[in-house]
Chains A and B, each alone.
Chain A
Amino acid sequence: MSSDFYKTSILPFAGIIIKLCRAYTNSQEDFEDYYQEVCLQIWRSKDNFREESQWSTWVYRISLNVCLTLLKKKKNNVQHFVSDAITAEETEDNFAFSEESLNVLYDAIRKLSEIDRAVIMLYLEEKSQKEIAEIIGTNPNNIGVRVKRIKIRLKKILDGEIN
C-alpha cells in the first residue's frame, strides 16, 4: 500500500476505523491488529468502490465487515473470533486512553452482541436510521426500536444491573 493512499484515503477516516475496531477488541495489541487489517482490506478493495455511497460510508462497511469476521490467531494457535474470547471478567478496558467515562462506555458496548455493537456505534456516530440500515443491510424501520433497546441495555450495564 502506498503511503499516499494511506494519507489521503484512510488517515482522514481513521477516527471511524479506530472507534469501530476498539469496540470489537479488548486489548491494545488486538486493536492494532484489527486496525491494520481494516486498512489492508480498504486498500485491497479500493477498486470496488463505485461512488454509489460516500467514501466514509464505504469505509464504515469495510471496517464493520472485517471486524465481524476477523480471526485472531493467538500464540497457542487456537483460532477464534475475538468476540468469543471476551468474557465478563476480561472486559476491563486495556487501552492506553485517558478518558475514564469513555473506557467504561466501551466496556459496556463490548458486552453487547456483535450486531448490536455495530448498530449503537453507527447511532453514536450520528448516522441516520436509513444509513445504519444500508451499512448493515437491514430494514430501517427496525433500527429505531433496536437502538432504544440497546440504549436501555447499555444503561443497565453501566448502572451495574446486568453484566
Chain B
Amino acid sequence: MEKSIENIWKEGFLKSDALVAPKINNLYSQKSIHIIDKFKRMFKINLIAIVAFSFAFLIVSFLVGIPITGILFFITLSVLVFINKKLLNDLEKIDFGISSYQYLKAFNEWMNKQVSINKKISKFLYPIIFIAMILGFWFKDAEGMPLGERLVNEILVGFPDTYLIFGIPLIGIFIVLLIIALLVHFGGRIYKWDVNMVYGRVFKKLEELMTDIESLRS
C-alpha cells in the first residue's frame, strides 16, 4: 500500500542516522552567515572606518592647509555616523524569537528605513563633500592670498571681460551650481544603485516571503 507523507515522515526518522546532530566546534568563534549579523558587522566596520577616516582627514587637512574641508568633512561624517549608529541600535532590537511574520516584517521595515534614510542623506552628503572641497581649496593659502582669489586674478589677466559676482566668475558659480544640482539629483540614485547591487536579491526575496505570509493572513 502506498505510504502517506505523514507515515514516510514518521518512519523516516525512526532510523538512527536521520537525526544525528552535526558536531559543534567553537561555535561562537565562527563567523555568522546570517544576514542580520552580516549587516551588523558591516555597519560596525563601516562606522569605525568613517570615524577613523574623518579624524585622520581632519589632521591631514590642517597639515596641508585646507582646514575648512577637514572640518566640514568631520562634521558631516559625524552626523552620518550618529544617524547610522541609531539605525544599528534598531537592528540589534530585532528578536529572532517572534513569529516569522513579525520577524520578517521587522527586518523588512528596518531595511526599508535604513535605505530610505541613507538615500536622503546621500542627496546632501555628496554635495556637501563637493562644497567642502571647493571651499577648502578656495581659501587655501597661496603665497599670502587665498588660492581662489589668485585663480580669479589669473583668469582676469587672460579674460578681462569675465563677469564677477562677489569677486567670483559667473561661469565658475554656474559650473559649481550645476555640479551640486547633479549631485543632489543623482546622490540618492547612486546610493540605491549601490545597495541594490549588493542586496537586490535579499530585498526581492524578503518581498516574496512577506507577500506569501500576507496571503495566509488575509
Decide: A61 near B32, CB < 8 A? Known: A6-B24, A102-B12.
no
| Distance between A10 CB and nearest chain B CB, rounded to angstroms | 8
What sequence of 0s and 1s flags, for each residue 40-84 of chain A, a beta carbon within 8 Å of any chain B beta carbon?
110111001100000000100110111011111100000111011
Decide: A45 near B96, CB < 8 A? Known: A69-B107, A113-B212, A114-B212.
yes
Which of B13-21, B64-72, B122-130 makes up part of the contact surface? B13-21
Nearest opposing residue in chain A for B21, CB measure: A14
Centre residue among B15, B17, B99 by max chain A CB count within 10 A: B99
- Chain A, interface size: which category? 35 or more
Centre residue among A43, A71, A98 by max chain B CB count within 10 A: A71
| Distance between A96 CB and nearest chain B CB, rounded to angstroms | 7
**Residues in B whose Cβ lies below 8 Å from that of A72:** 33
User: CB distance B96 to A35 under 8 Å?
Assistant: no
What sequence of 0s and 1s flags, for each residue 190-218 of chain B, a beta carbon within 8 Å of any chain A beta carbon?
00000000100110011011001100111
A-B contact count (CB 8 A): 170
User: Which residues 133-161 in A have Cβ within 8 Å of B in the complex?
Assistant: 134-139, 142-143, 146, 151, 154-155, 158
**Residues in A whose Cβ lies below 8 Å from that of B217:** 137-139, 142
Q: Summarize A's interface: helix, strand, loop or mixed.
A: helix
**Residues in B whose Cβ lies below 8 Å from that of A79:** 198, 201-202
Which of B1-9, B46-54, B73-81 makes up part of the contact surface? B1-9
Decide: A115 near B201, CB < 8 A? Known: A36-B27, A99-B12.
no
| Cβ contacts A to B, 20 pairs, < 8 Å | A1-B28, A6-B27, A19-B13, A41-B34, A48-B97, A65-B104, A96-B17, A97-B15, A97-B18, A99-B11, A99-B15, A115-B100, A115-B209, A116-B212, A119-B216, A135-B100, A136-B100, A136-B101, A137-B98, A154-B5
